[in-house]
Amino acid sequence: MDLSSLLKPRAVRVVTDISSKKRLLQSIADMAEDLIGLPSSQIFDALQERESLGPTGVGHGVALPHARLPALTQVQGAFLRLEKPIDFDSADRQPVDLVFALFAPADTGVDHLKALALVSRTLRDQALCAKLRANTDPATLYTILTAGAETQAA
């Protein structure tokens, strides 16, 4: 499994108008509706339900919101780079500006965990995160993310 199998180029965006965690989750749900074909309200509810178990802000300005959705057949992702960092209730209390959302089938176990581990490992690389923060072109962000995953796998 690599990031290019989870993330498609059209699932990478730079967002300028997010002011809260709730609005971010709604933006992710709206984006995912186009990507995976489920209603944004269903996706938003699943993201909110997961966040109610504990925040998915992992620290250093990174969040990994995720949800299980019954209609999916494979794990899929979306990446957002926020121009203005927001509070995400992260353990380190740092605002979030890099967000990688994952959506998994309701009955998947190992694949979902493998995907979360891969994304977490990738976004722990501070040099890679610095490159992501220095760019605003979605195609460039996609290249940085997928090239970074290949480098880490080698």
Q: Which residues are catalytic?
A: 66
Please name the residue ranges forming H helices in the chain. 3-6, 21-36, 40-53, 110-123, 126-133, 138-153
φ, ψ of residue 102 in degrees (nearest 5): -125, 140
Question: What are the respective helix, strand and coil percentages of the chain, to the nearest 5?
Answer: 50, 20, 30
Q: Which of 62, 97, 93 is nearest to 83 (CA)?
A: 97
| 153 Cβ neighbours under 8 A, 6+ residues apart | 2
Q: Which residue has the tokens 């610095």?
A: 130
CA angle 150, 153, 154 (to 5 degrees): 90
Q: How far apart are CA 51 and CA 65, in angstroms?
A: 7
